[in-house]
Amino acid sequence: TDYSSHRKQIQLPLIPPPIMTNLLRATITIFRDEPMIMRTTGPVIIVGDLHGQILDLLRILKSEGLPPEKRYIFLGDLVDRGQFSTETVTLIFVMKILWPKSIILLRGNHEFDELCTIGGFGTEISNLYNSDDISSLFSYSFACIPIACIVNDTIVCLHGGIGPTVKHLANIEDTQRPLY
C-alpha cells in the first residue's frame, strides 16, 4: 500500500495513559541524568526536523538501520505540523529508553510550550489523552532534553542558532533544567 501518496489512511494504536505516563517518567529520568551538551564519536546518523512525520522516521530507520547497531542524533522538532506527532516522539522516546547510548535527542524550538501550543502538538495531546497529567509530563520531558551534542570533539550539533548571549559552550553546559 502506498501511504506516502495518501491512497490509504494510517491508523496507529493509542498507547494507554498509564503506559504513556510511565514512558514519559522514564525519559525524564534519562534526560535529567544527561549533560546539557552530549558528547559522542562517529559514525552517527544525524536526523533533523521530523515534525510529526512518522513515515519519514520509519523510512530513515529502514534505510539506515536500527539501534543499537546504528547510532542516531535527533536535532529536535519532533512534533507539530505532521499528523503523527505523538507517535513520532513516542517511538523516539521508546528507542531512547531501550538504547540510551545509541539515541541522542536534542531539543528543538518546537519542544517549547509556546510552539507546541501554536504548532498543534498541544491540541493533539489534548484530543488523544484529555489529560493534564500527560500534557504536563510531555512539557516537563521536553524541558529536560539536552540542547547540544559534540561529535568527535569537533562538530557541534544543535537545533538552531546559538543566541548572541552564548559566548562559550560553558554557557550551555551551565543551563539548569527544566528549561522552559
Give catalytic residues, as residue numbers: 110
What's the rounded Cα separation, in Å, for the pair 164 and 157? 17
Q: What is the dihedral of CA 14, 143, 146, 52, to 10 degrees?
A: 40
Q: Which three cell numbers stand for residue 72?
A: 542516531
Which residue type sits at 109? N
75 and 106 Cβ atoms separated by less than 8 Å = yes
Pairing of strands 148-151, 37-40: parallel
Integer Cα distance of 68 and 157 in angstroms: 20
Contact between 17 and 90 under an 8 Å Cβ cutoff? The reply is: no
Rounded Cα–Cα distance for residues 99 and 83 (Å): 26
The phi, psi pair for 7, rounded to 5°, reads -80, -15
User: Under a CB-based contact definition with an 8 Å cutoff, are residues 83 and 52 in contact?
Assistant: yes
